[in-house]
Chains A and B, each alone.
Chain A
Amino acid sequence: MNSIHSSWSNIFIAHIKRDILTNSRSLLDLISIVGFMILIIILFPLGLGPIKEKLNIVSNAVIWVGLILAIIPSLEKLLQKDFENGWLDQIATSPAPLEIIMLSKAISYWLIMLIPLIITSPIFAILLDMDLKNIPWLVISISAGSLAISLIGLSGSALILGARKGNILLPILIIPLMTPILIFGVGVNEAVKINESPFGNLFLLLALTLIYLVISPFISALLVRIAIGR
């Protein structure tokens, strides 16, 4: 039992290392996701007008919505490349459980794409004139919710694996699934704004993240098996 356990964790770590390595060779993706996020943030002051009170009210929601929108273009590539060059076929024939590999995909995606967004989020908050006392809570809520976002994104990209025009379909499929994360994530900071305890929303957000953490690898593995016809 112990040896099996250790070999699973070895597989998990090896795949995370592989994903980080392959992604670090093409930093363009990383730059484009942060750039896209900054552009979304820029659009709002242009649309609303540079009035500080208005921006202060919407800043929290804008950052969350921007986070969800910014990752959508990169989700397409999350499994597509591995699917096209046959890597997923190879992995599915190996004795290593596909669920573990899917989990490692989600975690490595979170480490590569979402950690930079979490780190830069205070800058966005200052750009949108958020109150200083809200910024730590923003970072905490985004850290709690972003793992769920990457897990949903993994299931979404597994759904469109092998589909025609999957990139157009993807937002329609995953944005309905993201709505609870958005509601509770925004709720954390809205509670802080009116001097109430943010922990209710934060715990619900964490609970959702844990639920997705359990379900998403299994769903994604099932969908990958469907896509490669096994």
Chain B
Amino acid sequence: MFDWLANPNRFKKITNKLEPLLMVISLLFIISGLYFSLFDSPKDYQQGDAVRIMYVHVPSAWLASFLYLSLAVSCIFYLVWKHPLADLISSSIAPIGALFSILTLITGSLWGKPMWGTWWVWDARLTSMLILFFFYLGFILLHNAFERKIDGSKSASVLAIIGLINLPIIKFSVDWWHTLHQPSSILKFDGPSIDNQMLIPLSFMIIGFGLFSLYLIIINVKTKLIEKKCEALILKLNLKEIL
């Protein structure tokens, strides 16, 4: 089913066309989203201008968890169907996801100081986000810890799949426990409870961030493909010298 895209050459051909397109579209979304969110959206009646942190905080939080999901899915593909490209994809997603989860925590604490009066509280949402960061960190460290690279890829994939259990905890932590973090206002059964004037710039930022991280992942994967090719070439040259 996925053999079609798993061919590295075909992957390269498609992504070569996709790459500049993704960059332009994502920058357009991010720039227009930033304009709308910083200048053209209303102040919150309680929070004032500090509400604008949300336009960075929410997209990075969504992406941090969504990227973990896609990381784990590609790990499953790697373990079950043993596509080498799936491993390259998961190892390219990991640093970007880790950055987004750190960005979430930093923007959250910048917002928390004026609003909650504290940089950090140990509530369920914040703690589970921190644990997500440690799963990303563990994945990256374990991936690089082995002499034989294939061992590292496999072990790290198993770890990523175990860490999948953390995602529903992040999503529902604000509903299950009464915490300081406000409950979700966009993905709800009875429609979003956020005003359109705020929802539109927010969705621009989410789309922009998502496309931009896709762009970064594609660059990462292509670099890793080239690295692999170089390694193979060096091996070939060495072999010729020996013979």
* CB pair A165 B145 closer than 8 Å: yes
Q: Which B residues lie within 8 Å of A223 (CB)?
A: 155, 158
Q: How close is A42's CB to chain B, nearest CB, in angstroms? A: 26
- State whether the Cβ of A176 lies closer than 8 Å to any Cβ in chain B: yes
**Chain A: CB-nearest residue to B139:** A173
Q: How close is A96's CB to chain B, nearest CB, in angstroms? A: 22
- State whether the Cβ of B18 lies closer than 8 Å to any Cβ in chain A: no
- State whether the Cβ of B162 lies closer than 8 Å to any Cβ in chain A: yes
Q: Which A residues lie within 8 Å of B163 (CB)?
A: 176
Alpha-carbon gap, A227 to B155, bound state (A): 8
- State whether the Cβ of B135 lies closer than 8 Å to any Cβ in chain A: yes
Known: A163-B152, A173-B138, A179-B131. A222 touches B158 (CB 8 A): yes
- State whether the Cβ of A46 lies closer than 8 Å to any Cβ in chain B: no
Known: A159-B155, A223-B155. A169 touches B142 (CB 8 A): yes
- State whether the Cβ of B141 lies closer than 8 Å to any Cβ in chain A: yes
* Interface residues on chain A, size class: 20 to 34
Known: A159-B158, A163-B155, A227-B151. A169 touches B137 (CB 8 A): no
Q: How close is A99's CB to chain B, nearest CB, in angstroms? A: 15
- State whether the Cβ of B159 lies closer than 8 Å to any Cβ in chain A: yes
Q: How close is B15's CB to chain A, nearest CB, in angstroms? A: 30
Total number of residue pairs linking A and B with CB closer than 8 Å = 58
Alpha-carbon gap, A219 to B154, bound state (A): 12
* CB pair A177 B162 closer than 8 Å: yes
A172 contact from B137, B151, B152, B162, Cβ within 8 A: B137
Q: Which A residues lie within 8 Å of B135 (CB)?
A: 176
* Interface residues on chain B, size class: 20 to 34
* CB pair A162 B138 closer than 8 Å: no
Q: Which B residues lie within 8 Å of A169 (CB)?
A: 138, 141-142, 145
- State whether the Cβ of A39 lies closer than 8 Å to any Cβ in chain B: no
* CB pair A172 B141 closer than 8 Å: yes
B 116-151 binary contact with A (CB < 8 Å = 1; else 0): 000000000001000100110110011001111001
In chain B, positions 162-184 with a C-beta closer than 8 Å to chain A are 162-163, 166
- State whether the Cβ of A164 lies closer than 8 Å to any Cβ in chain B: yes
Alpha-carbon gap, A177 to B131, bound state (A): 9
* CB pair A219 B158 closer than 8 Å: yes
Q: Which A residues lie within 8 Å of B148 (CB)?
A: 162, 229
- State whether the Cβ of A70 lies closer than 8 Å to any Cβ in chain B: no
Alpha-carbon gap, A47 to B211, bound state (A): 49
Q: Which B residues lie within 8 Å of A160 (CB)?
A: 142, 145, 155
Alpha-carbon gap, A222 to B142, bound state (A): 16
Q: Which B residues lie within 8 Å of A166 (CB)?
A: 145
Q: Which A residues lie within 8 Å of B146 (CB)?
A: 162-164
**Chain B: CB-nearest residue to A152:** B162
Q: Which B residues lie within 8 Å of A173 (CB)?
A: 138, 142, 159
Q: Which B residues lie within 8 Å of A176 (CB)?
A: 131, 134-135, 138, 163, 166
- State whether the Cβ of A226 lies closer than 8 Å to any Cβ in chain B: yes
Alpha-carbon gap, A59 to B141, bound state (A): 34
Alpha-carbon gap, A162 to B142, bound state (A): 11
Q: Which A residues lie within 8 Å of B142 (CB)?
A: 159-160, 163, 169, 173
**Chain A: CB-nearest residue to B134:** A176
**From A162, A169, A173, A226, residue with most partner B Cβ within 10 Å:** A173
**Chain B: CB-nearest residue to A225:** B154
| Chain A residues at the B interface, C-beta cutoff of 8 Å | 155, 159-166, 169, 172-173, 175-177, 179, 219, 222-223, 226-227, 229
- Pairs A–B under 8 Å by Cβ, sample size 25: A155-B162, A159-B159, A160-B155, A161-B155, A162-B146, A162-B148, A162-B151, A163-B142, A163-B155, A165-B145, A166-B145, A169-B142, A172-B134, A172-B137, A172-B141, A173-B138, A175-B134, A176-B134, A176-B138, A176-B166, A219-B158, A223-B158, A226-B154, A227-B151, A229-B148
Nearest 5 interchain pairs by C-beta: A163-B145, A226-B154, A173-B138, A176-B134, A176-B131
